[in-house]
């Protein structure tokens, strides 16, 4: 894994934040424990090397979604209840309170570890994101994030992520510990080996 150099700003993707700030991250996926071990020292060292970690408010939407989905799955496993996600949200107030507390706690930690970058999502951004959707294999959250940050005039976009989808986006620099991306990068001439 290559670290962002000093005096750089790197957008931290939701999956990396999730593993850093969510109490139940280890149960969010089977790979989470390994990812926590990989990215925790990576982010610490990036900050020690002078990299500025940034986040967008767009991350909150995805972070809240993943946390709520994970808490719903934990609840279902614990109780055997077959509630649908919206039923869980609306009909289990004690569980909803837990979800809200988890999201609030996670978001406060993101805000403490990084600085915000204001990204505008308007009709122009969303239309461009739709055009990108046809050309690049990104989900909706990532489409808006990449399009908005590219339009913010922040120079070269640098993203710390474990999401292999970002590797398909031309013109950005991806910092990752994703094995598939790291195996494919040299074959595509995209592996940066020096700082």
**Lowest mean pLDDT, pick from 13-17, 51-55, 105-109:** 51-55
Q: Is 195 part of a structural domain of the chain?
A: no
Q: Note the pLDDT of residue 186.
A: 74
For residues 126-134, average pLDDT: 89
Over the stretch 29-78, which tens digit does the pLDDT of each residue have?
888 889 999 999 889 988 888 888 999 888 999 999 999 999 999 999 99
Q: Is 3 part of a structural domain of the chain?
A: no
Q: Is 42 part of a structural domain of the chain?
A: yes
Residue 2's pLDDT band (cuts 50, 70, 90): very low
Q: Is 2 part of a structural domain of the chain?
A: no
Q: Is 77 part of a structural domain of the chain?
A: yes
Task: State the average pLDDT for the chain.
Answer: 86
Q: Quote the number of domains for the chain.
A: 1
Q: Which distant-in-sequence residues (6+ apart) come within 8 Å of 83 by Cβ?
A: 72, 75, 76, 91, 92
Query: Long-range contacts of range 73-79, CB-CB < 8 Å, 24 or more positions apart?
Result: 74/24, 74/27
Q: Is 159 part of a structural domain of the chain?
A: yes
Q: Is 192 part of a structural domain of the chain?
A: no
Task: Identify the CATH number of the domain in which residue 117 sits.
Answer: 3.40.50.1010
Q: Which distant-in-sequence residues (6+ apart) come within 8 Å of 120 by Cβ?
A: 148, 151, 152
pLDDT of 150 over the 50 cut: yes
pLDDT over 90, % of the chain:
39
pTM: 0.86
Q: Note the pLDDT of residue 154.
A: 54
**Lowest mean pLDDT, pick from 83-87, 98-102, 137-141:** 137-141
Residue 1's pLDDT band (cuts 50, 70, 90): very low
Strand locations in the chain (E):
9-12, 52-55, 115-116, 157-160, 172-175
Over the stretch 152-179, which tens digit does the pLDDT of each residue have?
665 567 889 998 888 888 878 888 888 8
pLDDT over 70, % of the chain:
89
Q: Is 190 part of a structural domain of the chain?
A: no
Quote the domain boundaries for residue 88: 9-184
Residue 3 CB-half CA count within 13 A? 18
pLDDT of 110 over the 70 cut: yes
């Amino acid at each position: 894994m290559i670290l962002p150099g000093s005096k750089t700003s790197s957008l931290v993707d939701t999956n990396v934040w999730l593993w850093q700030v969510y109490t139940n991250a280890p149960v969010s996926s089977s790979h989470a424990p390994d990812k926590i071990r990989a990215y925790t020292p990576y982010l610490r060292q990036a900050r020690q090397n002078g990299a500025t970690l940034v986040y967008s408010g767009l991350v909150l939407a995805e972070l809240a979604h993943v946390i709520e989905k994970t808490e719903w799955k934990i609840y279902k496993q614990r109780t055997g209840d077959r509630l649908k996600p919206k039923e869980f949200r609306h009909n289990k107030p004690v569980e909803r309170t837990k979800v809200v507390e988890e999201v609030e706690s996670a978001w406060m930690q993101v805000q403490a570890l990084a600085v915000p970058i204001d990204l505008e999502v308007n009709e122009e951004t969303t239309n461009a994101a739709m055009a990108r959707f046809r050309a690049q294999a990104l989900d909706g959250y990532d489409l808006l994030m990449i399009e908005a940050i590219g339009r913010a005039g922040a120079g070269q976009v640098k993203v710390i992520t474990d999401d292999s989808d970002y590797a398909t986006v031309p013109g950005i620099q991806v910092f990752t510990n994703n094995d598939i991306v790291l195996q494919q990068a040299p074959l595509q001439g995209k592996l940066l080996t020096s700082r």
